[in-house]
Amino acid sequence: MMTHYKYIEELLKRFFDGNTSNKEERELYIFFSGKDVPEHLKSYIPVFDFFETGMDKEFNTCRENNPKVKKLTPNYKKWITLTGIAASVLLLVAVFNKVIKNDGTFNPYEGSYIIRNGEKIADIELIRPELEATIAKVFKQQEKLNKILANVNPTDEFDRIKQEIENQYCELVNSFPDEITRKKVSEILNVECY
């Protein structure tokens, strides 16, 4: 019995140091809840009674005063899932459109139309000859305009050729020994050579 009390005292010491296992604590609770507690250890009975039942009471009181707060799950996981589903659906729709719509028939004039007497005609096969005639007419018009613009804005190639011709003329002019002949040749060729 004495050894048992010594064991209990040892356990008590370790209990208050926080070094007891659950099993050892359970032993202490059973001991102090029994009737054979020695006098010198009876002061510890209320302590183990508190630990056994008081903590539960306190916890329940606390729970009554503060209702349990629902644990929030991170919303971002939900949003990531929803975004992934939306992206997959969009990708499927895009692939579907490309595969189904790209059935091999390509119409280069798709979207073209004619308005005549206030009426819009969009049947490509019906107006195709007229569209092609318009393109041909516009092409000729653009050629004509490009010629006009070329006269106003000579290209670099044009300037280069012109300069080369003038250089050849000047070589010819300078090949004459006397100044009077050189002047006459310059007037005929309409160049100024220095």
Partner 1 sequence: MKLRNVLFITIILIVGCLSNDLMAQDALKAMIKKCESLDNVEMSVVRKKNKETLKVEQSITTITINVSNKALIDEFIAACEKDEPSAYEVIYSKKKGKVIPQFFRFKNVNFSFSYNNNNFNFTLDNGKYKTKKEETLNITMIEN
Chain residues binding partner 1 by CB under 8 A are: 106-118, 127, 130-131, 134-135, 137-138, 141-142, 145, 148-149
Q: How far is the CB of 163 from partner 1 (least distance, A)?
A: 25
For partner 1, the closer of residues 99 and 149 by Cβ is 149
CA distance 154 to 147: 10
Please count the other Cβ atoms lying within 10 Å of the Cβ belonging to residue 12: 18
**22-33 helix and 2-16 helix, angle to the nearest 10 degrees:** 120
CB of 183 to partner 1, least distance (A): 40
Nearest distance from C-beta of residue 168 to partner 1, angstroms? 33
| Bridge partners (DSSP) listed for residue 119 | 116
- Least Cβ distance, residue 89 to partner 1 (angstroms): 24
Burial of 21 (0-12, 13-18, 19+ CB in 10 A): exposed
- Toward partner 1, which CB reaches closer, 109 or 158? 109
